[in-house]
Amino acid sequence: MPNILRTHRAAALVGAAILAGAAAFPFTLPSTSAMAASASASATVPQVSSGSFADVVSADKPAVVTITTTMKATDVSDSGDQSPMDEQFRQFFEQQGIPMPKQAPQHQGGERGMALGSGFIVSSDGIIVTNNHVIDNAIDIKVTLDDGTELPAKLLGADPKSDLAVLKITAGKPLATIAWGDSDALKLGDQILAIGNPFGIGTTVTAGIVSARGRDLHSGPYDDFIQIDAPINHGNSGGPLVDHSGNVVGINTAIYSPNGGSVGVGFAIPSDQAQKVVAKLEKSGSIDHGYLGVQIQPVTADVADAVGLAKAEGALVAAVNAGTPAAHSGVKTGDIVMTVGGEAVKSPRDLSRLVADLSPGAKEAMTVWRDGRKVDLSVTVGGNDGDQKQASAAKDEGKMQTGPSIGVALADLTPDVRQELSLPDNVTGAVVAKVNPDKPAAAAGIQTGDVIVSVNDKAVLGASDVKTAIAAAVKSGRKSVLLLIERGDQKTFIAVPFAAA
């Protein structure tokens, strides 16, 4: 039962799934998942010597805490369902052909549910970092220090999109802390250490290496997970991932598991990303993320060639939502966003993160690639209300035109075709009536029933326009042609190469 489980506030995530943050472990009632926290600078931690982490553990362990949450029974799923982030993980893995099993029922009745997670102290006055899913919907939060002291905790702020939360406890004395590290300096193969409270058995330390960087699990605009092989399990969620110097380089957040336990595939939020979010949460309690209002997709080599771009970098705008900041600023379908606020955009994920980090109302410069040249725009960022997406993304046997070199048969959008495809009158273009399975269009993903709206950023009105535009691209020496496809209620750019025709 392979699954991505967010180590959620409870044992509910003990099943095979991607568990957010090495999950929280349940007590007598269903629990929720806990996630990572980070710490503020403290005394210098000794380097690892002779292959032992003993000195690092001795310095860091006192700053790692156990977080116990209590929630209403109605907040604890009787069917073992996971949080919204767990659902996004499930969808991601099912898209990869890996089914997500349903969790066994965890709640057996009662008025309250309890769960365990982990966290860590980042300032000596009691500021603690953990995952949002650890404390989500909690009506009571308690923190247990390494010495066994149990204290009530106040939630200072939480951000579901980054899955981070900040707590505050009052201990009446300075507390041990962990310093933030530099996650950007991590390299594949670097040694790391995970600390937390798996299954509620007590603080546990596991070691491993950095297995991969930049993992995108499609859970939000901040997806840039560090993949590790250090064993993390339910209850580790929210605990620190530290480097050989004992500094926090990540927050343990999720695992991939066929059985609910660790199989060496874990995920942590990078500290460089978390530290910025934590600072905002500590100051204001919440984050109002920026919103642009576009559907975006990657720029492949074929797309870059089709539009005359030297490198396959940027974020291709597949659609601009009406009435959004992007629409008001002049962003157009087919634009490739290259920079925002002077920061380079190399991928759609870069754009999503840059926009999400901006404050609503901020006015930023944006550079896009349009019609073979750079165009400078000024964008006033909007607010994201949670329902808006982040810059995140035919049968007609009449007259058919066969497009040169790509292997499609096209038909005009007649009234009968429009009715069959449920297309509104304002949709223009040509419908794909047939696709040759041995030609480039099929390999690129073109399907029967797709409507070709534009060719190389030029709107087309019918089959003959598509044929003419494709022929012009061939004649100009292009290696591929960029088609804007409307399929259902989604628009997508597809670059179709000529070489394999």
Has residue 304 got a pLDDT over 60? yes
Lowest mean pLDDT among 252-261, 436-445, 451-460: 252-261
- Mean pLDDT, range 442-468, rounded to an integer: 87
What is the rounded CA–CA span in Å between residue 373 and residue 437?
Answer: 35
- pLDDT, mean over the chain: 78
Helices of type H across 367-439: 415-421
107, 133, 234, 244: the active-site residue: 133
Based on the number of CB atoms within 10 Å of its own CB, is 373 exposed (0-12), middle (13-18) or buried (19 or more)?
A: exposed
> Can you give the pLDDT at residue 434?
82
* Lowest mean pLDDT, pick from 20-29, 53-62, 202-211, 345-354: 20-29
Is the pTM higher than 0.85?
Answer: no
245 is catalytic: no
163 is known as an active-site residue: yes
**Active-site pick, 86, 136, 163, 229:** 163
Least confident of 16-20, 110-114, 125-129: 16-20
The residue among 285, 67, 64 whose CA lies nearest residue 166 is 285
Task: Report how far apart, in Å, the C-alpha atoms of 390 and of each of 259, 324, 381, 481, 492 are.
Answer: 33, 12, 11, 28, 16
Domains in the chain, CATH or no CATH each: 3-283 (2.40.10.120), 290-383 (2.30.42.10), 400-497 (2.30.42.10)
Which is higher by pLDDT, 195 or 80?
195
For residue 143, the one-letter residue type is V
Is a pLDDT exceeding 90 seen at residue 182?
yes
Q: Residue 120 in contact with residue 40, Cβ under 8 Å?
A: no
Which residues are CB-neighbours of 403 under 8 A, at least 6 positions away? 410, 441, 466, 467, 470
**pLDDT, tens digit (0-9, with 9 covering 90-100), for 407-449:** 888 888 877 777 777 788 778 888 888 888 878 888 888 988 8
What pLDDT shows up at residue 112? 65
The residue annotated as part of the active site, out of 162, 237, 262, 480, is 237
Confidence band (pLDDT; 50, 70, 90) for 72? low
* Residue 389 confidence class, pLDDT cut points 50, 70, 90: very low
Average pLDDT on 81-100 reads 49
Confidence of residue 195 (pLDDT cuts 50, 70, 90): very high
- Euclidean distance between CA atoms 152 and 318, whole angstroms: 49
Could you give the CA distance from residue 177 to residue 350 in angstroms, rounded to a whole number? Answer: 32
Which residue stretches of 228-313 are H helix? 271-284, 301-307
CA torsion 125-131-137-141 (nearest 10°) is: -30
Residue 35 per-residue DSSP state: B
**Beta strand spans in 46-159 (E):** 64-72, 112-123, 127-130, 138-144, 150-152, 154-159
Per the model's pLDDT, the better-predicted residue between 259 and 480 turns out to be 480
Predicted confidence at residue 18, as pLDDT, reads: 45
